[in-house]
């Protein structure tokens, strides 16, 4: 690696290019403890000695390659290489639109190749503001994966976890929840009991199938019975979050909320689609159950409207959809100013979870983290399959430790990634229909 060494006064041998060593392939270090050089204002034969800390070391680290990997079950990984052998990993993905996001990443590579990977904020602004058309799930997810990989490189360069570069962590671990499910109240109750036996104290569940814009009370009662079944089986030993998944329309949402209120959900997620934030705000004002949303909001500007309307008690930005670590840290801070909680959305892979944990570490208002271990989508590969050391994502007593390794704090098994990328995937979410043949919300 080449560096330009300058004195603070700009005299002497300033501007001469030196080659410096690297400690453990990461942060650059001077080969000697200090460097002496003559200056124009010193007596003949005298030298000024400058340590590395009193010089300006300008790195000429450059991005050389972006390599995407489509891997099962439904993920897209991105590796960014540099000319000095430091690489970073990101997870740019829109579930069901992986190939579209991959194309967006390739388009961003036209700008990124040859750039200094350490200038993350500048690159984020260039990727976002450098396009006349901006925002939305595809572009923001592409930016998110690049951003994660750049932060991973920066952490490895400085031999520090990302949270340390963002000011340090406010917690050592964070609570996580397990997914529960089943077709009947009995099956769901059994799933919840298994979660407790595995050490979890919180779960999340989806309680409805397709509901018409106005639907029968029988479907509402069936949905409520699922929550009642869990509560009857486990009492207050388990916190139960309920995900409406944006399937419920405005006329039915307050009906279903009132039906499950007696069972004290931890929160209700996406009670209506994010296109209807004004009505979501009405729902929030008329229930004592916390309202959560955010997985389909993609920038701080989307969240600005959510917070201004007072539509949620909990924001759920997705680190692989909402612009990555750089943007989600800003969203977390915005939410904190409204005394709104943070619970990052993450039914994805290990890179997205690692990025989420780095933001959780630094956000005082973070209280719980989603993760995908054992989720229904993960049939062919699960959360930790792509890690060299799966123990870095070990769950204990319903918590996960914040990774303290360099960068994202995880090591990706690249050989296995390459093997699984041969299979790839073309995952698509189901296409649902109502009984009359019209399209239903999934």
Beta bridge partners of 34: 51
Q: In sequence order, what are the residues at sequence separation of 6 or more whose Cβ sits closer than 8 angstroms to the Cβ of residue 229?
A: 185, 186, 188, 189
Q: What is the pLDDT of residue 377?
A: 82
- Beta strand 56-59 pairing with 2-6: antiparallel
Q: pLDDT: is 423 or 4 the higher one?
A: 423
Q: Where are the beta strands (DSSP E) in 30-126?
A: 34-37, 48-51, 56-59, 63-71, 75-82, 87-90
Percent of the chain whose pLDDT exceeds 90: 81
Q: Is the pLDDT of residue 229 over 70?
A: yes
The C-alpha atoms of residue 225 and residue 237 are separated, in whole angstroms, by: 18
Contact 355, 323 (CB under 8 A): no
Contact 155, 166 (CB under 8 A): no
Backbone conformation region of residue 434, classed left if phi is above 0, alpha if psi is from -120 to 50, else beta: beta
Other C-beta atoms within 10 Å of 89: how many? Answer: 26
Cβ burial of 288 (10 Å; 0-12, 13-18, 19+) is exposed
Tokens standing for residue 145 = 């994966």
The C-alpha atoms of residue 378 and residue 353 are separated, in whole angstroms, by: 15
Q: Is the pLDDT of residue 19 over 70?
A: no
User: Where do you find CATH 3.20.20.120 in the chain?
Assistant: 173-408
Q: What is the pLDDT of residue 58?
A: 53
User: Where do you find CATH 3.30.390.10 in the chain?
Assistant: 63-165
CATH match of 63-165 with 3.40.50.150: no
The C-alpha atoms of residue 314 and residue 267 are separated, in whole angstroms, by: 8
Confidence band of 184 (pLDDT split at 50, 70, 90)? confident
Beta bridge partners of 87: 81
In the predicted model, what is the mean pLDDT of residues 37-52? 41
Peptide bond into 54 cis (omega under 30): no
Task: Please state whether the predicted TM-score (pTM) of the whole model is above 0.85.
Answer: yes
Q: What is the pLDDT of residue 15?
A: 38
Q: What is the pLDDT of residue 34?
A: 36
Q: What is the pLDDT of residue 382?
A: 85
Q: What is the pLDDT of residue 29?
A: 44
Q: What is the pLDDT of residue 379?
A: 79
* Residue whose pair of structure tokens reads 């600005």 in the numeric block: 304
Told to judge if 345 belongs to the known catalytic residues of this protein, a careful annotator would answer yes
Contact 52, 188 (CB under 8 A): no
Contact 273, 246 (CB under 8 A): yes
Could you report the per-residue pLDDT of 289-313, keeping only the tens digit for each?
A: 999 999 999 999 999 999 999 999 9
Q: What is the pLDDT of residue 374?
A: 78
Q: Is the pLDDT of residue 44 over 80?
A: no
Q: What is the pLDDT of residue 27?
A: 52
CATH class of 173-408: alpha beta
The C-alpha atoms of residue 53 and residue 286 are separated, in whole angstroms, by: 58
Told to judge if 158 belongs to the known catalytic residues of this protein, a careful annotator would answer no
From the candidates 123, 321, 345, 425, give the one annotated as an active-site residue: 345
Backbone conformation region of residue 85, classed left if phi is above 0, alpha if psi is from -120 to 50, else beta: left
Helices and strands, counts by H and E, the chain: 12, 22
In the predicted model, what is the mean pLDDT of residues 256-279? 98
Q: Is the pLDDT of residue 170 over 70?
A: yes
In the predicted model, what is the mean pLDDT of residues 171-197? 91
Q: What is the pLDDT of residue 185?
A: 81
Could you report the per-residue pLDDT of 72-128, keeping only the tens digit for each?
A: 999 999 999 999 999 999 999 999 999 999 999 999 999 999 999 999 999 999 999
Q: What is the pLDDT of residue 26?
A: 52
From the candidates 245, 249, 276, 434, give the one annotated as an active-site residue: 245
In the predicted model, what is the mean pLDDT of residues 234-258? 97
The C-alpha atoms of residue 349 and residue 373 are separated, in whole angstroms, by: 9
Q: Is the pLDDT of residue 35 over 90?
A: no
Cβ burial of 134 (10 Å; 0-12, 13-18, 19+) is middle
Could you report the per-residue pLDDT of 397-431, keeping only the tens digit for each?
A: 999 999 999 999 999 999 999 999 999 999 999 99
Q: In sequence order, what are the residues at sequence separation of 6 or more whose Cβ sits closer than 8 angstroms to the Cβ of residue 11?
A: 39, 40, 41
Q: What is the pLDDT of residue 380?
A: 79
The C-alpha atoms of residue 120 and residue 146 are separated, in whole angstroms, by: 10
């Amino acid at each position: 690696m080449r560096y330009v060494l300058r004195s603070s006064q700009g005299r002497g041998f300033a501007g001469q290019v030196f080659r410096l060593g690297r400690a453990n392939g990461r942060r650059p270090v001077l080969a000697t403890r200090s460097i002496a050089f003559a200056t124009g204002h010193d007596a003949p034969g005298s030298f000024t000695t400058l340590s590395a800390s009193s010089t300006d070391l300008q790195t000429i680290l450059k991005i050389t390659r972006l390599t995407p990997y489509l891997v099962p079950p439904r993920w897209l990984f991105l590796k960014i290489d540099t000319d000095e052998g430091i690489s970073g990993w990101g997870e740019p993905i829109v579930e069901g639109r992986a190939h579209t996001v991959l194309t967006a990443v390739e388009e961003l590579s036209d700008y990124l190749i040859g750039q200094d990977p350490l200038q993350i904020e500048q690159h984020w602004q260039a990727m976002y503001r450098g396009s006349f058309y901006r925002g939305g799930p595809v572009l923001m997810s592409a930016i998110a994966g690049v951003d994660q990989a750049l932060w991973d490189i920066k952490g490895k360069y400085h031999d520090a976890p990302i949270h340390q570069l963002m000011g340090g962590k406010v917690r050592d671990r964070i609570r996580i929840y397990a997914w529960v499910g089943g077709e009947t109240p009995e099956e769901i109750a059994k799933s919840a009991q298994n979660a407790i036996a595995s050490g979890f104290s919180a779960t999340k569940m989806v309680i409805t199938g397709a509901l018409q814009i106005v639907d029968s009370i029988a479907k509402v009662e069936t949905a409520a019975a699922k929550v009642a079944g869990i509560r009857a089986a486990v009492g207050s030993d388990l916190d139960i979050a309920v995900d409406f998944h944006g399937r419920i329309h405005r006329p039915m949402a307050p009906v279903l909320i009132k039906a499950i209120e007696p069972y004290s959900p931890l929160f209700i997620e996406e009670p209506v689609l994010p296109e209807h934030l004004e009505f979501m705000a009405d729902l929030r004002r008329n229930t004592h159950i916390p309202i959560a949303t955010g997985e389909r909001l993609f920038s701080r500007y989307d969240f600005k409207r959510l917070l201004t309307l007072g539509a949620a008690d909990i924001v759920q930005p997705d680190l692989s959809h909402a612009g990555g670590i750089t943007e989600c840290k800003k969203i977390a801070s915005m939410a904190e100013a409204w005394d709104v909680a943070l619970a990052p959305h993450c039914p994805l892979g290990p890179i997205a979870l690692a990025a989420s944990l780095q933001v959780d570490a630094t956000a005082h208002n973070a209280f719980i983290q989603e993760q995908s271990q054992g989720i229904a989508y993960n049939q062919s590969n699960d959360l930790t399959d792509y890690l060299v050391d799966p123990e870095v994502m070990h769950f204990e007593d319903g918590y996960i430790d914040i990774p303290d390794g360099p960068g994202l704090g995880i090591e990706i098994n690249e050989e296995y990634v390459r093997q699984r990328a041969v299979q790839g995937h073309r995952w698509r979410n189901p296409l649902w229909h109502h009984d009359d043949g019209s399209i239903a919300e999934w």
